Amino acid sequence: MQESRVRRARRTAVWVAMAIVATSIAAVTTTGEGDPVEAATETSLGAAGPLGPISIIGDSVMYGSLLVDPDLPTRLAEQGWGPIRARAGAGYSTGYFPVDNTYRASHWISVWRSQGWDPAAVVVNFGANDAGLCAYRNETIDQCSYNAIKHLVDAIGPGKRIWWPKITRFPLNRDSMDAWNAALDRMASEHPDFHTWDWPSVMYATGNYASDHTHLSPTGYRERSQRMAFEITASLGRATKVGPAAAPPRPNGAVSELLPIGPERVLDTRTDAPGRLRAGQTVEVDVSDVVPDDATAVAAYVTAAGPAGPGHLTAHPCLDDPDDSSFTNYSAIVRGAVTISPLTSDRTFCVSTHEATDLVVDVQAAFVPEGLRFTPRPEPERLIDTRGSSLSKRIVLPVPADAEAVAVNITAVMSPAQGHVTAHPCLDPVPETATLNYLPNEIVASSAYIPVSDDGTICLDTFTEVDLVVDLTGTFSADGDLAFQPAIPTRMVDTRRAIGGWSPLHGLGQTLEVTVAPPAARAVTGTITLVAPMRNSHLQAWACGEQPDNSNVNALAGRTLANFVTTGTTSSGELCVFAINAGHTLFDTTGWWVE
């Protein structure tokens, strides 16, 4: 990376309670009486990064983060930010108070803007000095703290994303610290893109702070810069449109309708040939015993059981060179998801695995020339949420009277033990199949196509007691609205590689409009994947317009999880995808629905 830095230290007469020498980090972390001095540094990294430009401005606490290497600008550049411009100094404050312009952050924001520097992302670190200056204002400490913060937010201007950590002060000044941090929380509740960070909890948990409980040791500054770079990126990082939408998927076979099946288990390599799959192996799955002769595609819940390491599964109609897509990602123990795959003329399809694993395949439906047509709900309808009620291992749910089968999204919430859910048309005995596998202490979802019983119900049986949330996304009937066009599974969105035009990161609270189907589509079916979110997260996918309340896939921080989605699209074949926290988003289209 080409790096351009300008560092300058200034000394000007102003009273501060600490002697700081610009070239001495030890002085930055030492409290005591001293001569009136001011030290400041300004740093620039000129190389452009995919996350775009960012400003940093702060007081003596941030000053240490600009002097101790690896400094904060370097850590932010590692995350993908750039260009970066940073300024911090001892005695600096927000600009709300009548001090010399040298020490007023709002002044420097104005200077930078006059020089053409006005990025959308701004990191701010003030409060230790401002909280003390509030003691001399004819205002309550609470109102003064808020007014000082608002002064700088207003100076930064509308439409900006601001990250501002909470402060620490000497224990005798705890009241002013608490008032300042409460004002930051208030600003975060009022400002749509203002983010704060609980630095006091982190500092006291990790140590390496000075006797003033405000500044840090060199080790403390290094650790803080690394932590801040992560938190800043998690809060302020956003995807931008960098290219065109992906090319439309290729249709595979004729438009077809749904025939609900079973569910029926057709393969379990723990007991069936060919046995456990090697890394990179492909197995051909024969469904000819459970689907009719004229079936063109199949919907199945496919499970990786006991994988050797992190990886993914890909389904396809036994192609020599399948598209780079996946329908489930696994890390350990067991993970599954639904996929729709076109069938070969022998009524088979293939599943390829990235790592060694056993494979379990449970068929839910076939697609045939004449069957049931799909009517999507305008928005998902919640059938049940067991949280806060007594648990049962069997749930019986009534569904709309005209439905012969339903499309649902099932979410298991924070089970104390590993288990699975079997969804079925209230059969006796319960089928030995899985619709959703869950691990302890996670939120995980799976979609399913479920036949409806003669009584107009569906049943969910669980291996362990677990809270379930079930959302109805559509119904199937002979006079339904839409038929299905199978397609070669195609990756339409991948924010890691700018597939679909969005990169480099699906940001916190960001909605991406992505093309996933041709304009003739009324709805799309595919796999949505949440990859390594920076914090616990979920994704929502819908036909734009009013945002629904449900989630489609959930993942803990650092995990990668996928779910099968059937949802409406816009008239141009677009889908809106919302992320509650920053991470990467993938969407693989397996087909779409037409009138």
What is the structure's pLDDT at 538? Answer: 96
What is the structure's pLDDT at 11? Answer: 27
What is the structure's pLDDT at 34? Answer: 30
Give residues with Cβ within 8 angstroms of 138, minimum separation 6: none
Name the pLDDT band for 73 (thresholds 50, 70, 90).
Answer: very high
**Spatial CA neighbour of 351 closest among 311, 295, 310, 302:** 302
Query: Is domain 373-479 annotated with CATH 2.60.120?
Result: yes
Provide the CATH number for the domain formed by 257-368 in this structure.
2.60.120
Q: Which ranges in the chain are annotated with CATH 3.40.50.1110? A: 25-237
326 vs 155 pLDDT, higher one:
155
What is the structure's pLDDT at 222? Answer: 97
**Spatial CA neighbour of 512 closest among 522, 500, 521, 524:** 500
What is the structure's pLDDT at 331? Answer: 84
What is the structure's pLDDT at 268? Answer: 98
Fold of 25-237: Rossmann fold (3.40.50)
Q: Of 15-29, 184-198, 473-487, which range is least confident?
A: 15-29
- Can you tell me the mean pLDDT for 511-529? 96
What is the structure's pLDDT at 156? Answer: 98
Name the pLDDT band for 25 (thresholds 50, 70, 90).
Answer: very low
Alpha carbons 261 and 361: distance in angstroms, whole number:
13
* 9 pLDDT higher than 50: no
Q: Which ranges in the chain are annotated with CATH 2.60.120? A: 239-250+482-595, 257-368, 373-479
**Spatial CA neighbour of 236 closest among 153, 158, 161:** 161
Q: Percent of the chain having pLDDT more than 70?
A: 93
The pLDDT tens digits for 267-298 are 999 999 999 999 999 999 999 999 999 999 99
- Can you tell me the mean pLDDT for 42-64? 94
The pLDDT tens digits for 96-113 are 999 999 999 999 999 999
What is the structure's pLDDT at 516? Answer: 97
**Spatial CA neighbour of 48 closest among 6, 3, 91:** 3
* 32 pLDDT higher than 90: no
What is the structure's pLDDT at 41? Answer: 85
Q: Which of 168-177, 371-380, 491-500 has the highest mean pLDDT?
A: 491-500
555 vs 9 pLDDT, higher one:
555
Q: What's the whole-model pTM score?
A: 0.88
**Spatial CA neighbour of 103 closest among 47, 58, 147, 72:** 58
* Cβ atoms within 10 Å of 465's Cβ, excluding its own: 14
Alpha carbons 293 and 273: distance in angstroms, whole number:
24
What is the structure's pLDDT at 19? Answer: 26
- Can you tell me the mean pLDDT for 351-373? 97
Alpha carbons 347 and 295: distance in angstroms, whole number:
7
Q: DSSP per residue over 479-530, as a string? A: T-SBEEEEEEEEEEEETTTTBTSEES-B-TT-EEEEE-S-TT-SEEEEEEEE
What is the structure's pLDDT at 549? Answer: 84
* 22 pLDDT higher than 70: no
Tell me what the pLDDT averaged over the chain comes to: 91
Q: Which residue has the tokens 């996929």?
A: 339
The pLDDT tens digits for 167-183 are 999 888 899 999 999 99
Query: Is domain 239-250+482-595 annotated with CATH 1.10.3470?
Result: no
Ramachandran angles phi, psi of 577, nearest 5° = -125, 120
